Structure 1
Amino acid sequence: MDPLYTTTDDPNDSMENISSNFTDSYNNQFVQPVWQVVVWAIAYCSIVIVSVVGNIVVIWIILAHKRMRTVTNYFLVNLAFAEASMAAFNTVINFVYSVHNEWYFGLGYCRFHNFFPIAAVFASIYSMTAIALDRYMAIIHPLQQRLSSAETKLVIGVIWVLALLLAFPQYFYSTTAELPGRIVCYIDWPEYKIWDFKLTYQICVTVLIYILPLVIMGVAYLVVGLSLWASEIPGDCTDRYREQLTAKRKVVKMMIVVVCTFALCWLPYHVYFLLHMFHPDLLEERFIQQVYLAIMWLAMSSTMYNPMIYCLLNDRFRAGFKQAFYWCPFVPEGSYKSLELKTTRYLQTQISMYRVSRMDTTVSTVLPFGTPDDTTEPAREEEPGCLRHTAVDLSPNGSTRDTHSKTTPPPSPTTTWTSED
């Protein structure tokens, strides 16, 4: 992330111009009263504590419970890791540099400081995009094959490779310089007569880590929302189908809240830097420091909201947080057993009823939906509608005849539901 002021911030300026700006116009104009520094320090440190603790608990809830390891939750692990890392390694450093306008941490960390946030934000938002596309495929195209565990990990690896490649220019061109009385960390962008490399890069970053993924997620969730909420539930559907539809709505609603929160938190940041690109004189205004600190706080705070959203909108995560903080006196006792899912993602067709008659034998196969819980995904999810009942009639001569009915009769008392891990 670029630093704040023209004296350190404008990589298009030469070091002579930077030094001149420092001696002629800076004159400690951005020095804040102690009470303001304390208030901002508390605000930024609260982000680090809440984000790191909350996201580590999210990772523990998913990885420590085998049946929580679903496609959606693997991407949530990646999202939590990226957000916790950015909060731990960049938030406080960014605050210190913004307040003092002096770099204390050396060239190596200067490069990391400008490099890692871009990669982390890219990994975060494309993890959300992957979840949106996975939900789209599960609900709109339920018969298509879903991602396996290995394929999901491969997608996460590709996301991080692309993130590192996108952020690499910020690492490569980052450097430090010594000004009168202080050291600054800035990005020394190359200057070409043909094109403005810095402007092109900043626009590409804004499109790739904000505009494009938000458009993709917006379209995906719009289609999914119309499918889940616009159609009426048929009156002859089973209770299990209604529970499954409710579960789908819950997880989609939770992810829409996550995406909207991210978009709102990062919108002022991208607007600020685009304005800076076209109106660099704004950075010379005295009030800009407070504006920048507020915008940066809002952007960094996006790393701490997701664990709260999971806890509020998801029963499984709520149970996990209660288990993690059971020692706190104000945390109500919860049911840890609710973390144990009834079924897992990979469900095979189970033979549920056997009816034997004198004339022929009919084996009725019920295709169960996945667990009604909102943190698992069945291997095959039906489109809105009722469960189908498939009957295979075995005639005495060994031939088979398929019959289908649109509704599923209630299972007999001998029906058993099984699942495989």
Structure 2
Amino acid sequence: MDTLFTSTEYPINWTNHPNETEEYWNQFVQPVWRIVLWAIAYSTIVIVSVVGNITVIWIIVAHKRMRTVTNYFLVNLAFAEASMAVFNTVINFVYAVHNEWYFGLIYCRFHNFFPIAAVFASICSMTAIAVDRYMAIIHPLKQRLSSTQTKVIISVIWALALLLAFPQYYYSNMDWLPGRVVCYIDWPEYTLLDFKTIYYVCVAILLYFLPLLVMGCAYLVVGLNLWASEIPGDSSNRYHEQLNAKRKVVKMMIVVVCTFAVCWLPYHVYFLLHQSFPELFERPFIQQVYLAVMWLAMSSTMYNPIIYCCLNDRFRVGFKRAFRWCPCVPAGSSDAMELKCTRYMHTQTSMCKGSRMDSTVCAVLPASEDGARTAPLGRAGAGPGAGGGRGSALHSPSLELTSNGSSSRSMSKTVSETSSFYSGSNLPA
């Protein structure tokens, strides 16, 4: 089966005509040892993807500090990837092993329909994050997305994804060959319009090439801004901390995008070759090629949680908390606080609240031996560092850095940045 590429015609080499008697045979039956190896490989994808992405969703949803615009899109990305791993990867493997369909017409249609929607939602979420980072860093004074607007955008993404995938659902069908059942797409035939080819090209552009072009341009401009420019005269520690925090977020997302591009590139090359040399895909060896290409594409669903854990301090803390029951995971006494506040002042006590702009707004109070400091005004002998002088933290506004690196005056406040095409076998049906 191939939910995106399959035609309704059966390849010639699936039949034999000795003595003019037609006999169908399945050339894609594999030995047991090969099935076991592929089963282990595909099972690894499902386990790592489901556990990792569900943990990512928990880290963001269960911790108010993590509920930012970028992280809302990461929740959508994690949901799409975990869903594809559950509903698509396993069935893909089972069908590709012997190219026989066991799951009925309803799931045949769902299996052809859902992967395109999930991949579209994933790539659009990554594109939305790239645009959000671009606006936050290149145009910091413009209004940012609110949580409500972000949720509306995510809903629109899924609506467009379902609309794009609908033709795969509508034209999906099953057929009974002697000895086996196949699930395929019965594309309509028009004399003046090759609907199938046009649809495949549109899907490839919308699900791969166009989003990568947009993200590439956005991150190129952001990278030049963050790594190739400095604000003259502003070299404070807080500015550099904010700049490094922005760089870390951008680095993480660039790695996520590059991983997606590398994982899905062989599949799209496979698709283009299929359009140009269809006879090549009727040979038995193509099954192993397809299983390898599909494994690489499906494995893209399991890498993102690993990337978040390795490149983001807060996600690393979240994973430690989620897997603290595991003996191999070290526990830290200060880890629990890191999801609530990023502390830049080592000798001060910070009271923090999260914002939707990847920022931590901290009301900073100078610490003392008893944990609280009172500085009454007009006390006899009070100097500049006590209650009534210019050095009093309770009365003198301090010069702080805003999240975009500019300076602003505030009262003890710190702002810091902290198949279808993607399902089924591309074997002849």
Q: TM-score range by the shorter chain?
A: 0.7 to 0.9
Alpha-carbon distance in 2 for matches of 1:150, 1:211:
29
Could you tell me which of 381, 393, 402 is aligned with 1:369?
402
Alpha-carbon distance in 2 for matches of 1:87, 1:351:
43
Residue 388 of structure 1: aligned partner:
407
Give per-residue Cα distances to partners, 1:51-78, cap 9 Å, x unaligned. Answer: 0000000000000001110000000000
Alpha-carbon distance in 1 for matches of 2:326, 2:216:
39
Would you say 1:121 and 2:119 are equivalent positions? yes
Could you tell me which of 128, 140, 143 is aligned with 1:145?
143
Alpha-carbon distance in 2 for matches of 1:355, 1:288:
82
Displacement of 1:12 after TM fit?
4.5
Matches within 5 A, 1:21-420: 21-24=13-16, 27-232=25-230, 234=232, 236-334=234-332, 335-341=335-341, 342-345=352-355, 366=399, 368-370=401-403, 381-382=404-405, 387-389=406-408, 416-417=412-413
5+ residue gaps, structure 1, are 371-380, 391-410
Q: Secondary structure of 1:246's partner? A: helix
State the one-letter code of the partner of 2:71. N
Q: Secondary structure of 2:15's partner? A: helix
State the one-letter code of the partner of 2:338. S
Q: Secondary structure of 1:175's partner? A: strand
- Give the length in aligned residue pairs: 370
Displacement of 1:364 after TM fit?
5.1
Which has the larger displacement, 77-86 or 31-40? Answer: 31-40
Displacement of 1:237 after TM fit?
2.2
Displacement of 1:233 after TM fit?
5.6
Displacement of 1:238 after TM fit?
1.6
Alpha-carbon distance in 1 for matches of 2:325, 2:73:
29
Q: Secondary structure of 2:354's partner? A: coil
Alpha-carbon distance in 2 for matches of 1:348, 1:316:
13
Alpha-carbon distance in 2 for matches of 1:79, 1:197:
30
CA gap of 1:69–1:389, structure 2 versus 1, over 3 A, is: closer
Displacement of 1:368 after TM fit?
4.0
On the 8 A contact 2:363/2:413 being kept in 1, the answer is no
Which has the larger displacement, 200-209 or 226-235? Answer: 226-235
State the one-letter code of the partner of 2:413. W
Displacement of 1:27 after TM fit?
3.3
Displacement of 1:282 after TM fit?
1.2
CA gap of 1:194–1:233, structure 2 versus 1, over 3 A, is: same
Give per-residue Cα distances to partners, 1:116-155, cap 9 Å, x unaligned. Answer: 0000000000000000000000000000000000000000
State the one-letter code of the partner of 1:63. V
Which has the larger displacement, 330-339 or 126-135? Answer: 330-339
State the one-letter code of the partner of 2:2. D
On the 8 A contact 2:354/2:360 being kept in 1, the answer is no
Give per-residue Cα distances to partners, 1:154-202, cap 9 Å, x unaligned. Answer: 0000000000000000000001111111110000000000011000000
Alpha-carbon distance in 1 for matches of 2:398, 2:194:
65
Residue 374 of structure 1: aligned partner:
none
Which has the larger displacement, 59-68 or 280-289? Answer: 280-289
CA gap of 1:22–1:223, structure 2 versus 1, over 3 A, is: same
Displacement of 1:34 after TM fit?
0.9
CA gap of 1:356–1:112, structure 2 versus 1, over 3 A, is: same
So what's the TM-score if we normalise by structure 2?
A: 0.81
Displacement of 1:416 after TM fit?
2.4
Would you say 1:2 and 2:5 are equivalent positions? no
Alpha-carbon distance in 1 for matches of 2:399, 2:388:
13
On the 8 A contact 1:51/1:87 being kept in 2, the answer is yes
Displacement of 1:351 after TM fit?
11
So what's the TM-score if we normalise by structure 1?
A: 0.82
5+ residue gaps, structure 2, are 17-22, 342-351, 366-386, 416-429
Residue 375 of structure 2: aligned partner:
none
Same amino acid, percent of matched pairs: 69
Give per-residue Cα distances to partners, 1:209-261, cap 9 Å, x unaligned. Answer: 00000000000000000000011464642211110000000000000000000
Give per-residue Cα distances to partners, 1:301-354, cap 9 Å, x unaligned. Answer: 000000000000000000000111111111111322211124422689999999
Displacement of 1:111 after TM fit?
0.4
Alpha-carbon distance in 2 for matches of 1:356, 1:145:
39
Alpha-carbon distance in 1 for matches of 2:122, 2:191:
35
On the 8 A contact 1:351/1:363 being kept in 2, the answer is no
RMSD, aligned α-carbons: 2.7
Give per-residue Cα distances to partners, 1:265-302, cap 9 Å, x unaligned. Answer: 00011111121122111111221111000000000000
Displacement of 1:363 after TM fit?
8.2
On the 8 A contact 1:352/1:366 being kept in 2, the answer is no
CA gap of 1:41–1:3, structure 2 versus 1, over 3 A, is: farther
Give per-residue Cα distances to partners, 1:73-104, cap 9 Å, x unaligned. Answer: 00000000000000001101000100111100
Alpha-carbon distance in 1 for matches of 2:414, 2:137:
23
On the 8 A contact 2:397/2:412 being kept in 1, the answer is no
